[in-house]
């Protein structure tokens, strides 16, 4: 017995030493800075690239700072910068978590893969939301919350506090977004039926000034929603019922918006006064039906800087797995009407729109009246989006097919034929960082006057272009103008050029119009670049009835304007850029301009004072010779 008792005491002493050592080790790991850093280093090594911890100071005894904490999962990457914690760990002995301050300078949450939610599933509330211990956070701060590295912050300057020491739990939060300053107050009972009382107010002081207030109250499974907002003259009222945990959260909604003017949000937008009425109701346990009506009390043409839309009406039905717009109508007033449908099922979208009479004159006064039969179709799924457009009229037809797959947009075909001429083209554009593009366009017998108040013509053209839009614009283009006519005058020409690094080079251009010729060759954009020109216009009267005489010029510009040298020779005979009864004698001028010598010319002819004859003004009355081109 004595031997057994002695062994028992030795075992108890060993267990006590082990427990004491464990407590001391635990206290050293969590309560001292070297121990805590040692522990986090092993966590970092064990987790591999899933967890990254950098620049740690302090401990869990009172305050802690982590310069960078990165966590990777299968679907998300979360990075926290300058994480700081100040708390009172001894409060845990009384079953209370007391955090004096929890903050971070920046939190970045990036999605790596898509997370799919099974249709028909909804969340189920537990019997109680009461925490096993009481919690109080005096101060929660966040400098910026981002959902992508190259996107502006979703939230900035967040300040919040949490009190979960008694019922109801309370959260107060202030933050700033790109659009407005937000203030939130929330009170939630931790026991069923989980009564919620929440208010969210938003205020924007910069143009367009706006303010809004959202109220939510009731049991968590069936909330009553009230929204009131204004921006300038616009007003919005909304009342509804919300089930946040259901598959279809919005159960009922009645919304009214009045006097919405797009110019209040985008000054360059067309003027309008839009009224919106929408109503949504639950049709079954898994479906809702809604109707939307939009009217414009200031509809007008684009040249009037107005929005052509007079009204829009849509009826839709939605379930957790599908949605459809069974009726979709657009009324563009004198421009015509459009009707269509929209369906979304199994992550596939299909839109069809058609109009029996598109009148271009109803869109802009410079366009001719038309009766174009229009058909538009859009199909989209997670991998590919395709748009087709067909236009038919008595004078001709046109069609377009466009698709996007990944970061590549492809114009498969652009075709048109009829009285206005023949058009064909194709091309592509990448949406990645390079923004590379390529395009080919062909015109045969094209007459823009068929579409509106444009010059009568029969133009032929062949254009090939490629390049990129980023990080710096780059272009290589070749243009051919086979013989055609512009306002009855023969026209032809060709051009080649390259542009990159802010420099135009390899330029060769020739234009022949009504027996007059312009030629350009060379480069521009560097100090040693030279751009040459030659103008031979022996028949100015063929260009316009108000012109007469002959004009010839040749010369070159070396370097940049203001830093280079310009040399030119100009010859004119019977020049008259005014009514035909006024004329000027022949003259010749040669001059050279440099940065140090603005203009030098032995001959000079300046514009005369306005002279009136037979009630008509002649502002260019030549008495001798004209030549001057100062450099700046």
- Does the pLDDT value for residue 415 go beyond 90? yes
> Residue 114's pLDDT is what?
52
Assign 280 a pLDDT band (cuts: 50, 70, 90).
Answer: very high
- Does the pLDDT value for residue 570 go beyond 90? no
Q: Where are the beta strands (DSSP E) in 469-537?
A: 474-486, 489-500, 503-513, 516-524, 530-537
Is the CB of residue 281 less than 8 Å from the CB of residue 288? Answer: yes
Give the tens place of pLDDT for each residue, 245-277. Answer: 888 888 899 999 999 999 888 888 999 999 999
Q: Report CA 171 to chain centroid distance, whole Å.
A: 34
- Does the pLDDT value for residue 59 go beyond 90? no
Query: Cα(188)–Cα(170) distance, rounded to whole angstroms?
Result: 7
> Residue 588's pLDDT is what?
57
Calculate ∠ Cα 347-314-266, nearest 5°. Answer: 90
Query: Cα(289)–Cα(315) distance, rounded to whole angstroms?
Result: 8
Residue identified by tokens 């919620």 is 196
Ramachandran angles phi, psi of 586, nearest 5°? -70, 150
- Residue bearing the bigger pLDDT, 184 or 123: 184
> Residue 292's pLDDT is what?
96
> Residue 466's pLDDT is what?
97
- Does the pLDDT value for residue 597 go beyond 60? no
> Residue 141's pLDDT is what?
94
Assign 170 a pLDDT band (cuts: 50, 70, 90).
Answer: very high
Of the listed ranges 235-239, 323-327, 571-575, 627-631, the one predicted with least confidence: 627-631
Give the tens place of pLDDT for each residue, 418-444. Answer: 999 999 999 999 999 889 999 999 999
Assign 65 a pLDDT band (cuts: 50, 70, 90).
Answer: confident
Task: Return the structure tokens found at 336.
Answer: 């015509």
CA distances from 230 to 198, 208, 255, 561, 607 (A): 20, 10, 13, 52, 58
Percent residues over pLDDT 90 in the chain? 55
Give the tens place of pLDDT for each residue, 357-385. Answer: 999 999 999 999 999 999 999 999 999 99
- Does the pLDDT value for residue 28 go beyond 50? no
Assign 618 a pLDDT band (cuts: 50, 70, 90).
Answer: very low
> Residue 547's pLDDT is what?
80
Give the tens place of pLDDT for each residue, 545-555. Answer: 778 888 889 99
Assign 607 a pLDDT band (cuts: 50, 70, 90).
Answer: very low
> Residue 258's pLDDT is what?
95
- Does the pLDDT value for residue 592 go beyond 80? no
- Does the pLDDT value for residue 301 go beyond 50? yes
Percent residues over pLDDT 70 in the chain? 81
Average pLDDT over residues 288-301: 95
Average pLDDT over residues 563-582: 70
> Residue 609's pLDDT is what?
36
Average pLDDT over residues 175-199: 93
- Does the pLDDT value for residue 107 go beyond 80? yes
Is the CB of residue 367 less than 8 Å from the CB of residue 377? Answer: no
- Other C-beta atoms closer than 10 Å to the C-beta of 55 total 11
- Residue bearing the bigger pLDDT, 416 or 41: 416
> Residue 23's pLDDT is what?
41
> Residue 5's pLDDT is what?
54
Query: Cα(389)–Cα(249) distance, rounded to whole angstroms?
Result: 36
- Residue bearing the bigger pLDDT, 590 or 609: 590
Residue identified by tokens 């143009």 is 207
**Averaged pLDDT of the chain:** 83
- Does the pLDDT value for residue 208 go beyond 70? yes
Query: Cα(506)–Cα(462) distance, rounded to whole angstroms?
Result: 19
Give the tens place of pLDDT for each residue, 462-500. Answer: 999 999 998 899 999 999 999 999 999 999 999 999 999
- Other C-beta atoms closer than 10 Å to the C-beta of 537 total 21
- Residue bearing the bigger pLDDT, 338 or 3: 338
> Residue 92's pLDDT is what?
82
DSSP string, 407-470: TEEEEEEEEEEETTEEEEEEEEEE-STT-EEEEEEEEEEE-GGGTBSS--EEEEEEEEEEEE-S
Is the CB of residue 252 less than 8 Å from the CB of residue 281? Answer: yes
Average pLDDT over residues 386-392: 97
């Amino acid at each position: 017995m004595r031997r057994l008792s002695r062994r028992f005491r030795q075992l108890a002493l060993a267990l006590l030493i082990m427990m004491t050592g464990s407590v001391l080790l635990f206290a050293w790991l969590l309560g001292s800075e070297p121990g805590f850093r040692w522990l986090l280093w092993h966590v970092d090594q064990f987790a591999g690239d899933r967890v990254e911890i950098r620049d740690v100071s302090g401990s869990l005894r009172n305050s802690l700072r982590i310069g960078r904490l990165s966590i990777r999962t299968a679907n998300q990457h979360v990075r926290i910068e300058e994480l700081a914690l100040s708390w009172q760990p001894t409060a845990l002995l009384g079953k209370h978590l007391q955090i004096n301050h929890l903050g971070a300078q920046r939190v970045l949450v990036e999605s790596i893969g898509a997370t799919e939610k099974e249709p028909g599933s909804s969340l189920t509330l537990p019997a109680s939301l009461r925490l096993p211990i009481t919690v109080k956070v005096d101060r929660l701060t966040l400098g910026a919350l981002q959902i992508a590295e190259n996107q502006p912050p979703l939230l900035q300057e967040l300040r919040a506090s949490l009190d979960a020491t008694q019922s109801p739990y309370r959260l107060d939060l202030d933050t700033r977004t790109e659009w407005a300053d937000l203030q939130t107050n929330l009170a939630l009972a931790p026991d069923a039926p989980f009564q919620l009382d929440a208010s969210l107010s938003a205020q924007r002081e910069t143009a367009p000034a706006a303010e809004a207030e959202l109220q939510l109250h009731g049991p968590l499974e069936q909330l009553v929603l009230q929204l009131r907002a204004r921006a300038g003259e616009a007003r919005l009222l909304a009342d509804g019922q919300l089930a946040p945990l259901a598959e279809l959260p919005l159960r009922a909604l009645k919304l009214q918006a009045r006097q919405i003017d797009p110019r209040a949000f985008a000054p360059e937008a067309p003027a309008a006064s839009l009224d919106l009425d929408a109503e949504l109701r639950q049709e079954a346990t898994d479906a809702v039906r809604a109707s939307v009506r939009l009217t414009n009390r200031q509809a007008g043409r684009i040249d009037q800087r107005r929005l052509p839309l007079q009204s829009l009406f849509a009826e839709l039905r939605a379930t957790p797995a599908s949605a459809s717009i069974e009726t979709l109508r657009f009324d563009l007033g004198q421009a015509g009407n459009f009707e269509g449908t929209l369906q979304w099922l199994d992550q596939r979208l299909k839109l069809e729109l058609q109009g029996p009479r598109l009148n271009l004159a109803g869109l802009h006064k410079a366009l001719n009246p038309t009766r174009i039969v229009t058909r538009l179709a859009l199909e989209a799924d997670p991998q590919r989006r395709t748009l087709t457009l067909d236009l038919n009229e008595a004078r001709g037809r046109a069609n377009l097919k466009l698709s996007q797959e990944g970061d590549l947009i492809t114009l498969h075909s652009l075709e048109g034929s009829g009285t206005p001429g023949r058009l064909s083209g194709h091309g592509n554009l990448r949406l990645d960082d390079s923004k590379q593009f390529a395009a080919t366009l062909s015109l045969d017998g094209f007459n823009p006057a068929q579409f509106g108040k444009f010059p009568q013509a029969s133009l032929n053209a062949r254009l090939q272009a490629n390049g990129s839009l980023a990080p710096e614009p780059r272009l290589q283009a070749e243009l051919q103008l086979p013989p055609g006519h512009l306002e009855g005058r023969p026209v032809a020409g060709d051009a080649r050029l390259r542009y990159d690094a802010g420099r135009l080079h390899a330029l060769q251009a020739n234009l022949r119009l009504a027996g007059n010729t312009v030629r350009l060759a060379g480069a521009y954009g560097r100090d040693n670049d030279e751009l040459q020109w030659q103008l031979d216009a022996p028949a100015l009267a063929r260009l316009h009835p108000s012109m007469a005489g002959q004009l010839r010029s040749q010369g070159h510009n070396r370097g940049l304007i203001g830093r280079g040298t310009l040399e030119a020779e100009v010859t004119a005979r019977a020049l008259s850029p005014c009514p035909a009864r006024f004329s000027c004698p022949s003259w010749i001028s040669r001059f050279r301009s440099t940065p140090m010598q603005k203009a030098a010319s032995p001959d000079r002819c300046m514009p005369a004072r306005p002279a009136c004859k037979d009630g008509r003004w002649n502002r260019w009355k030549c008495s001798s010779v004209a030549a001057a081109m100062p450099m700046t």
